[in-house]
Amino acid sequence: MSEIGNLSSFDARRKIRNKEWVKPTSGMANGYVQANLAVLPKDLAFEFLLFCQRNPKSCPIIDVTEPGSGVPALSAPDADLRTDIPKYRLYKKGILTEEKTDLLDIWDENMVGFLIGCSFTFEEALIKNGIPMRHNEEQCNVPMYKTNIQSVKAGPFEGPMVVSMRPMKEKDVVRAVQVTSRFPAVHGAPVHIGNPQSIGINDINNPDFGDKVTIKDDEVPVFWACGVTPQAVAMHVKPEIMITHSPGHMFITDLSNEQFGVL
Amino acid sequence: MSEIGNLSSFDARRKIRNKEWVKPTSGMANGYVQANLAVLPKDLAFEFLLFCQRNPKSCPIIDVTEPGSGVPALSAPDADLRTDIPKYRLYKKGILTEEKTDLLDIWDENMVGFLIGCSFTFEEALIKNGIPMRHNEEQCNVPMYKTNIQSVKAGPFEGPMVVSMRPMKEKDVVRAVQVTSRFPAVHGAPVHIGNPQSIGINDINNPDFGDKVTIKDDEVPVFWACGVTPQAVAMHVKPEIMITHSPGHMFITDLSNEQFGVL
């Protein structure tokens, strides 16, 4: 994996554009910010952007394209969101209709692409601080749960916050809060520490998305707002068309993780 | 002034709504976040919000109303932006046509109100840290300057960043960076410290907006991104109609300054 990890963001995207890499992007182009994708029609763009602005912990906006453009001009000016993600999901009226490896035949002038921060950035910071990620150790997806925390509504967009969970030793919890507080633009500090039921999670061993991970006896579950929230909320609106990345198949920007630290 | 300072945000707004207070709001309802106002037609709302999202240091969004509504639901749910600011300015195609004390006769279904953070919040934090504000001592407005720092464009919105300047003792500069870094939602850390020419300011004694203040021999000018930026940029687009607060006549929210600290 280290060869893939050492790629520049440009080279990683080129591999993906050439369809030489049609796999999850975890571990690729280490140090570069990876992002979630949501593509929506222009007539929903203002209210979706407003939803993200009102819910910055779950929906941290990294970049937004001009309507009709596939270019994320601020985060990767030579990239194209229509080709530079390994796998896309196409939803019509909220129903998954297709997985595709590019969007060239379905993109139109009306589409706006939103890149939303993902947890890889703060996970790298946690790992560098000696706090291991159980879902990495167990080689699965991070567990994610719907909560009873309501997002702040904007136009038709509303719904519960989705959180991801990482178990850790009690002694690491304070440091985890400090480390992730530095990165408000990629989910930031945890939203909850400890008892899952306090935020409406009844069965910690039965996540709504991703995979179950082991929580050891001396460990505390720590919960972060998750970028699945805006996708789930947008899907609920049943737009004529909506496009996302396939889970784990992220967009790799030219921004470095460290640039997102506020201090 | 202390009676005014001790008012709750609700009582301060009520005084303003009843036109018992048609003066600047500095020193009113201490501890509550005050905000700049920009009202634009809905067809410009997405691109203006995107401009703010791309330029968070100069355009920190506090709240956005639903189109047609005067209610800032997140920051002051019982307020009304059409009546609760002491003085408004009405611009048509970028030209100031009128000052008004309410908007009841000109508001329409098409209007979107944007509340944008102002420097009062971080100034309070600086003062509490023993760093005095020269423009307060000299009882004038903070000096503001156009810079050669270009904002990131969004649709028709573009133009230079406007900054405000506060002189301080060299020994206070590090603390000023730390203190204001805690408040990224209200301009955050300085954008520049020291030589004005480095950011395109040729005559520090001749500000583009506000008033000149004294810079003593042992002092350093420190520059922050300023909420005048989005107003100046929007004006440049010459919208059919645009409404702002009159300088110094701000909107008082129910949010406390301290709530905006990220750590």
Contact B152 A74 (CB under 8 A): yes
What's the rounded Cα separation, in Å, for the pair B86 and B144? 22
- Give the integer Cα–Cα distance in Å for B25 and B37: 13
Report the distance separating Cα A252 and Cα B148, nearest Å.
31
Nearest to A70 by CA among A103, A105, A23: A103
A234-to-A49, A87, A188, A231, B212 alpha-carbon distances in Å: 11, 19, 22, 5, 49
pLDDT score for B235: 87
In A98-240, alpha helices (H): 120-128, 134-137, 173-181, 228-236
Task: Test A152 with B74 for CB contact under 8 angstroms.
Answer: yes
Structural domains of chain B sorted by starting position, each given as residue range(s) with its CATH number in brackets: 2-118+231-255 (3.40.1640.10), 120-229 (3.30.2040.10)
Question: For position A208, what pLDDT does the model report?
Answer: 94
Q: How far is CA B54 from the centre of its chain?
A: 17
- Residue in B closest to A63 by C-alpha: B54
Please give, rounded to a whole number of angstroms, the shortest distance from the CA of A26 to a CA of chain B.
27
The ipTM assigned to this model is: 0.78
State residue B64 phi and psi, 5-degree precision.
-135, 135
N-terminal to C-terminal alpha carbon distance within chain B: 31
> Which residues in B lie closer than 8 A to residue A152 (C-beta atoms)?
74
Task: Verify whether the Cβ–Cβ distance B64 to A50 is below 8 Å.
Answer: yes
Task: Give residue A1's pLDDT.
Answer: 47
pLDDT of residue B184: 86
Ranges of chain B whose pLDDT falls below 50: 1
Q: Is the dihedral of CA B14, B17, B19, B23 positive or negative?
A: positive
> Which residues on B lie below 8 Å from A155 (Cβ)?
66
Summarize pLDDT for A46-86 with one digit per residue, the tens. 999 999 999 999 999 999 999 999 999 999 999 999 999 99
Contact B53 A54 (CB under 8 A): no
3-class SS at A199? helix
Is the separation of the CB atoms in A179 and A257 below 8 Å?
A: no
A99: tokens are: 């997985």
The ranges of chain A with pLDDT < 70 are 1-2
Contacts of B45 in chain A (CB under 8 A): 46
Put simply, the answer to whether B49 touches A46 (Cβ < 8 Å) is yes
